Amino acid sequence: MTRPRFHLAIPVADIPAARAFYGELLGCEEGRSDEKWVDFNMFGHQVVTHLGSEAGDRVKNDVDGHGVPVPHFGVILELDDFWKLADRLKAAGTEFVIEPYTRFEGLPGEQATMFFRDPSGNALEFKAFRDDAQVFATE
């Protein structure tokens, strides 16, 4: 396993619900845990769910005509993996904040993106670039 690129701790209201969402629905392997927290391997990144208060929107920023929830976190996937995950989420009846679609089509940074929430209200964005060289492109 490669070293995680980031470590993120997030509040959750219910540990069993976090296990079901991150472990079963998203397919993240569970690592160490305690009764008040669980580590997950989210596509090579360490996400730690800590029993605490529910998350919520503080701000929404308009991006490509959509209200993007802030704060949010997520992962950049390969394009095929993005659409497979989108299909799995749709089949599970996930309520999207922003449905899967291609943003900035034909422009620098063209990407597939989707936003949804975990059971505690944390906003997640998963995205994929047709060309990974475009991740930070401005032109």
pLDDT at 107 over 80: yes
Domains of the chain, CATH where assigned: 7-51 (3.10.180.10), 59-134 (3.10.180.10)
Q: Encoding tokens for residue 79? A: 């394009």
**Per-residue model confidence as pLDDT tens digits over 67-93:** 887 788 889 999 999 999 999 999 999
* Per-residue model confidence (pLDDT) at position 82: 96
The CA angle 58-62-67, to the nearest 5 degrees, is: 60
Average pLDDT over residues 43-69: 80
* Per-residue model confidence (pLDDT) at position 57: 62
pLDDT at 131 over 70: yes
- Sequence-ordered list of residues with C-beta below 8 angstroms from that of 136, at least 6 positions apart, any chain: none
Sheet architecture: strand order including 111-117 = 73-77, 123-129, 111-117, 96-103
**Per-residue model confidence as pLDDT tens digits over 5-44:** 778 888 898 999 999 999 999 999 999 898 889 999 998 8
Alpha helices in the chain (DSSP H): 15-18, 79-91
* Per-residue model confidence (pLDDT) at position 103: 93
Label residue 55 by pLDDT band (50, 70, 90): low
Label residue 117 by pLDDT band (50, 70, 90): very high
pTM for the whole thing? 0.84
